Amino acid sequence: MSDITTQPSQQDPSLKSYKTLLAENTQLASSPLQDPSRKTNEYAIHCPRCKSKVVGKGVACWPPALPIFVTDSSHSSTPPHLWLITDMMAFDNVGFSRPAPGTSDLRYLSCADCELGPIGVHDPDMKDKDGKKLFLLAVDRVRYRVV
Ligand SMILES: [Zn+2]
């Protein structure tokens, strides 16, 4: 996988990072990039490097609380904000790593086109209350198509 810090070769002004959006609109902090009524993502989510669409608008939700998936004590920092997607078929484009070392089958998500990652994580042992699988995207590792 490529380094997440790789800069895009071309700047695309309509693709913005979470930090940029926060800086431009301080109200986002209370309702982070969400459609206020549906509680889903207001903007399509894209790969920060090749700009492929990862998920479309209205597919991911930002739950107020998530089970902490990292139990390793070396990861004791604050968990990142995460978008939650419960249907793998809802992705436009996503790749999976091999199982992470020391886990049963935890996989990191990457861009399927350019393999930039990790941009998220999938732990097959973790399910929501309805038994749906959980796919998580790190809010600050993707870009948002603001049009
Ligand atoms: Zn990509």
CATH number, position 41: 2.170.150.10
107 and 121 Cβ atoms separated by less than 8 Å: yes
Question: What total number of domains does the chain contain?
Answer: 1
User: Residue 28 domain-assigned?
Assistant: yes
Q: How many angstroms separate the alpha carbon of residue 86 from the centre of ligand 1? A: 21
Of 110, 70, 117, residue with least CA distance to 91: 110
Within-domain flag for 49: yes
* Cα 17 to averaged position of ligand 1 atoms, centre (Å): 14
- pLDDT tens digits for 79-114? 567 899 999 999 999 999 999 888 889 999 999 999
Q: How far is the CA of 131 from the centre of ligand 1 (A)?
A: 30
Residue 65: inside a domain: yes
Q: Is residue 45 part of a domain?
A: yes
Nearest to 113 by CA among 44, 17, 48, 56: 48
Domain containing residue 87: 15-145
In a domain, 110, yes or no: yes
Query: With a threshold of 0.85, does the pTM exceed it?
Result: no
**Cα–ligand 1 centroid distance for 73 (angstroms):** 31
Residue 57 lies in a domain: yes
Partner residues linked to 61 by β-bridges: 40, 84
Burial 53-81 (b: 16+ CB within 10 A, else e): bbbebebbbbeeeeeebeeeeeeeeeeee
Instruction: Determine, yes or no, domain membership for 72.
Output: yes
* 42 assigned to some structural domain: yes
Tell me how far the alpha carbon of residue 11 lies from the centroid of ligand 1, in angstroms.
14
Tens-place pLDDT, residues 123-146: 988 888 889 999 999 988 999 998
C-alpha triplet 37, 43, 45: angle, nearest 5°: 130
Backbone angles phi, psi at 44, to 5 degrees: -60, 145
